[in-house]
Amino acid sequence: MSADLNGYYAWTRTLEGLYYGPGSVLTALPKLLDTLGGSKAMIVTGKSLYTKTDVVKRVEGILRGQNRYADTFYGIGEHSPISGIRAGVEAFKKSGADISFRSAAAIIYFLQEELGGEFRRQIAIPTTISAAEYSIGAGYTDESGHKTALSSPYLAPSGVILDAELTLATPERLWLSTGIRALDHAVESLYRPYVIPPLKYLCYGSIVELFKYLPQSKADPDDVYARQKLQVAAWMSLWPARLEKYSPLGLSHALGHRLGATYGVPHGITSCLTLAPTIKLKAKVASTEDKQWLAGVLPQLKQPSTGSVDSDVVKLSELIDGLVRDLGLKTDLDQYKVPREDLPAVAERALGGRTEIHGDVVAFLEKLYP
C-alpha cells in the first residue's frame, strides 16, 4: 500500500512561537522571552558573526534593555568540535542563564545530560537559510574528525525569529550556499520516510521559491524582500514536525556530514556538491513512488516533462546542477583536498553499512573532481 495513504502528523514539542518579517527582532524578542519565561539569556553564536557584524550587538542591546542579558559565547567552530561544545557548556553554567540562543544545540544536550531536569530552552535567530533551526537534531565532531549525531524532540528551539534585515551582513557565498542546503532539505524530504503528503507539498513550494529568489538575491544582495522570501522558503523546506519515527534526511545529507566533519567542507557547499548527483542516482535506484514525487517538481517549476518519470528525475538533477552553477557555487572535492582513496570509506559511512549502491556512490563521488 502506498505510504501516501497512511501517516501521522504533530507539531514539534517545543516550538511556541515564530515571528517573521524585516525588523521583527526588536518586538519579537521581548515577546518570546515573556512567553518562555526566560529571565537571563546567553547568546551562542559564531566568531565571524560576533566580530565582523553588528548583528550580535543589536541582540545584546535588546536583551540589556530588558535586563535579560547574561553573556555571549562564540567559541564554537564550524562542524561543532567537541572542545567548543564543552567550553560552551561551562560558559552557560557560569553565566547564570536559563535560556539560550540556538547556535549549537549540542550544548543544550550536554547540559541536560550533566545537570538533569528539563532541557534548557532556546530561541533561534538565523542569519543563514540552512533551516537548522527546525531540526530536532544536533551534532558534534569528535577529536578524530568523525561526526556524532544527537537527537531529541526537545532540542528544537522554543522560538524562532526570521528577520531578513539581520542577514544583510551574511557573506554572499555563505548565504547562497545555505540556500542550496535548504533546497537539499526540501528535495530529500520528498523521499524521506514518514514525511506526509501535506509536508511534501510545502517542500514543493519551498523548491519553487528557492529557484526563484536565490538568483534574485545574488543579483541584488540588498534586496530585503528576496531575503525574507528565502527565509520563509527555508522554513517550508524543513517544516517543524514531530514525525512518527525519526528518519534522517537522505544520502545527500549523509555524504555532506561525512565530507564536512572530516575534510572541513562547509555545510552549504556539501549540498552544492552532493545533491544533484544524488538525485540523478535516485532515477536509477529509488522506488516508483519516490521517483513520482521527485518528478513532480518539474510542473511546479513550469518545466515540461520528458515523457518518462526516470528521465524527469534526471532532468531535476540537471536543474539543480544548473542553479548551483548559476549562483557561482560550483566546486569540486579537489579544492577541499579530499583524497580519492578515501571515497570508498566516505560512501560506506554515509550508507550506514548498506552495500547495494556503494559502488554507484563511489562512482559519482569520483566525478566530483576537475
pTM of the model as a whole: 0.92
Residues 327 and 340 reside in one and the same domain: yes
Residues 340 and 234 reside in one and the same domain: yes
Domain that holds residue 342: 172-366
Domain boundary, last residue among 137, 167, 197: 167
Residues 56 and 204 reside in one and the same domain: no
Q: What is the pLDDT of residues 39-64, one digit of tens each?
A: 899 898 888 888 999 999 999 999 99
Q: Do 19 and 61 form a contact (C-beta atoms < 8 A)?
A: no
Residues 205 and 152 reside in one and the same domain: no
Residue 4 falls within a domain, yes or no?
no
Report which of residues 129 and 136 the model is more confident about.
Answer: 129
Residues 155 and 177 reside in one and the same domain: no
Say what the pLDDT of residue 341 is: 97
CA dist 115 and 18 (Å) reads 28
Instruction: Look up residue 250 and give its three cell numbers.
Output: 537522505
Q: What is the pLDDT of residues 243-270, one digit of tens each?
A: 877 778 899 999 998 999 889 899 899 9
Report residue 103's pLDDT band, with 50, 70 and 90 as the boundaries.
Answer: low
Residue 330 falls within a domain, yes or no?
yes
Domain boundary, last residue among 135, 167, 199: 167
Residues 296 and 205 reside in one and the same domain: yes
Residues 39 and 67 reside in one and the same domain: yes
Q: Do 140 and 80 form a contact (C-beta atoms < 8 A)?
A: yes
Residue 157 falls within a domain, yes or no?
yes
- Say how many domains are in the chain: 2
Domain boundary, last residue among 167, 190, 209: 167
Contacts 24+ apart (CB under 8 A), 309-312: 310/283, 310/284, 311/283
Scored b (16 or more CB within 10 A) or e, 25-41 reads: beebbeebbeebebebb
Residue 2 falls within a domain, yes or no?
no
Query: The domain spanning residue 86 has which CATH number?
Result: 3.40.50.1970
Instruction: Look up residue 105 and give its three cell numbers.
Output: 544545540
Q: What is the pLDDT of residues 267-298, one digit of tens each?
A: 899 999 999 999 999 999 999 999 999 999 99
How far from 187 is each of 86, 139, 285, 321, CA to CA, in Å? 34, 22, 16, 13
Residues 315 and 226 reside in one and the same domain: yes
Report which of residues 119 and 231 the model is more confident about.
Answer: 231
Residues 321 and 177 reside in one and the same domain: yes
Residues 124 and 140 reside in one and the same domain: yes
Residue 5 falls within a domain, yes or no?
no
Average pLDDT over residues 329-342: 96
Of the given ranges (114-128, 314-328, 330-344), which has the lowest mean pLDDT? Answer: 114-128
Residue 11 falls within a domain, yes or no?
no
Query: Would residue 20 be called left, alpha or beta, if left means φ above 0 and alpha means ψ between -120 and 50 degrees?
Result: beta
How far from 367 is each of 352, 362, 364, CA to CA, in Å? 22, 9, 5
Query: The domain spanning residue 292 has which CATH number?
Result: 1.20.1090.10
Three-state secondary structure readout of the chain: CCHHHCCCCCCCCCCCEEEECCCCHHHHHHHHHHHHCCCCEEEECCHHHHHHCCHHHHHHHHHHHCCCEEEEECCCCCCCEHHHHHHHHHHHHHHCCCEEECCCHHHHHHHHHHHCCCCCEEEECCCCCCCHHHCCEEEEECCCCCEEEEECHHHCCCEEEECHHHHCCCCHHHHHHHHHHHHHHHHHCCCCCCCCHHHHHHHHHHHHHHHHHHHHHHHCCCCHHHHHHHHHHHHHHCCCCCCCCCCCCCHHHHHHHHHHHHHCCCHHHHHHHHHHHHHHHHHHHCCHHHHHHHHCHHHHCCCCCCCCHHHHHHHHHHHHHHHHHHCCCCCCHHHHCCCHHHHHHHHHHHHCCCCCCHHHHHHHHHCCCC
Residues 180 and 157 reside in one and the same domain: no
Q: What is the pLDDT of residues 307-327, one digit of tens each?
A: 999 999 999 999 999 999 999
Residue 9 falls within a domain, yes or no?
no
Residues 301 and 201 reside in one and the same domain: yes
